[in-house]
Amino acid sequence: MKSVEPLRHTTREERERYLEEAGYNLFLIAARNILIDLLTDSGTSAMSTEQWAAIMRGDESYAGSESFFRMKRVVDELTGFRHMVPAHQGRAAERILFTVMCRPGNVVPSNTHFDTTRANIEYRGARAVDLPVPEAADTQARRPFKGNMDVAALERLIATDGAANIPLIMLTVTDNSGGGQPVSLANIADVSRVARRHGIPLYLDACRFAENAWLIKEREAGYEDWSPKQIAQKMFSYADGCTFSAKKDAFANIGGFLCTNDDRLAAQETDLLILTEGFPTYGGLAGRDLDAIAVGLEEVLDPDYLRYRIVSTAYLGRHIADRGVPIVEPPGGHAIYIDAGRMLPHIPKQQFPAQALAVELYRHAGIRSVEIGSVMFGDQAQHELLRLAIPRRVYTQSHIDYVVEAILEVNQARERLRGLEIVEEPPFLRHFSARFRPVG
Ligand SMILES: *Cc1c(COP(=O)(O)O)cnc(C)c1O
């Protein structure tokens, strides 16, 4: 390490006060009051020396910036798509995609939609449908590809709703809301075959394409000797386009893009981009951000990095699961998910067990995590999960050992935990700003 940031300790009394002030919503707690921040792996990666060097090369020209062409070259080679539209982050790419492709009443299936993806589809008046494989329902099943889409359910949906009413099919790799589980190449091929047969475009929500590629290398027969890049290229080859948040597998602090093979759509997307994001060669980003993304997209495919990444995620998972804390098995790419519904059976889902666990982990040890359950997804929630997302290249094993200890201590005292109720919430994406109070 050649650059460090201090960690700030707080007392339990202070944390109790911060919780009250934040309405028991960890999104509303100031970062300076967090010791270990596992809220998200998004935009929180440590950048490399090469990325910082690239930032100094950033070309801030309004039109035709060199930085854009450097990023475009990397994206073209990796994905093979005809068009790449930069955007300030993943959800901006989603908003443009769904504005152009969706009409009110349409249906958009996915293995599992991410929260912003679902919200952007619903905001267009369309319906977002999750079609995970049945084995994803059992958090304890140790199966290799629990992120797969249920292809038979997709066929049934197309038969019921009609292909004309389905503007696109999405596959989230890895499946973030479904426990960070990978999607196999065989499944991507199957979904692609069904999509082509019905003339429906297939898009990848490709935020964690490199982690997905590594898990294919480790778990899917026939790909042991392929490089992560070859596997990623094969994944993209089945799709007609993608959305991407560079805040995940490009190690950037901000950024994203949208790709498509459709010339007509690309023209419409570019028009919309100019309206809200900026000129098509910067898309709401500084030139230096485009350069950081270009370098990050190559670094993330380094086998040594990916091996370290997946092993260190599994380290956290195994150390708590093997001592009795139920996690989504097997550990996936970017995060460990505790099955709070199973850990806290005395708290009904109407009282948000995973939110209660997030609050207790902060109160006990200053660790920030995030609920992925009924607070985030309402009645659509399949499970009550607590996500511990691991920022890339940021924490050491001793930081993670501290997290392990804290979780095991909270688990010892789990019967004392109480649920929460909502006192205030916005009309959509309520988890970001809702306020709670402890029950009874
Ligand atoms: C983070 C994420 C997004 C949205 O990207 P942002 O850059 O946060 O807007 C979309 N899909 C998935 C699977 C994600 O993890």
| pLDDT score, position 337 | 96
| pLDDT score, position 2 | 86
Gap from CA of 403 to ligand 1 centroid (Å): 25
Low-confidence ranges of the chain (pLDDT < 50): none
Residue ranges matching CATH 3.40.640.10 in the chain:
49-299
| pLDDT score, position 440 | 76
Gap from CA of 179 to ligand 1 centroid (Å): 14
207 CB under 6 A from ligand 1? yes
pLDDT tens figures, 286-309: 999 999 999 999 999 999 999 999
91 CB under 6 A from ligand 1? yes
- CATH for the stretch 49-299: 3.40.640.10
174 CB under 6 A from ligand 1? no
116 CB under 6 A from ligand 1? yes
| pLDDT score, position 427 | 85
Gap from CA of 409 to ligand 1 centroid (Å): 32
334 CB under 6 A from ligand 1? no
245 CB under 6 A from ligand 1? yes
Domain 12-34+303-438: CATH class, spelled out:
alpha beta
Gap from CA of 116 to ligand 1 centroid (Å): 7
Nearest CA to ligand 1 atom 4: 90
| pLDDT score, position 381 | 87
Q: Which atom of ligand 1 is nearest to the CA of 246?
A: 7
Gap from CA of 120 to ligand 1 centroid (Å): 12
| pLDDT score, position 419 | 97
Residue ranges matching CATH 3.90.1150.10 in the chain:
12-34+303-438
90 CB under 6 A from ligand 1? yes
Nearest to 340 by CA among 295, 314, 370: 370
Gap from CA of 9 to ligand 1 centroid (Å): 30
| pLDDT score, position 178 | 79
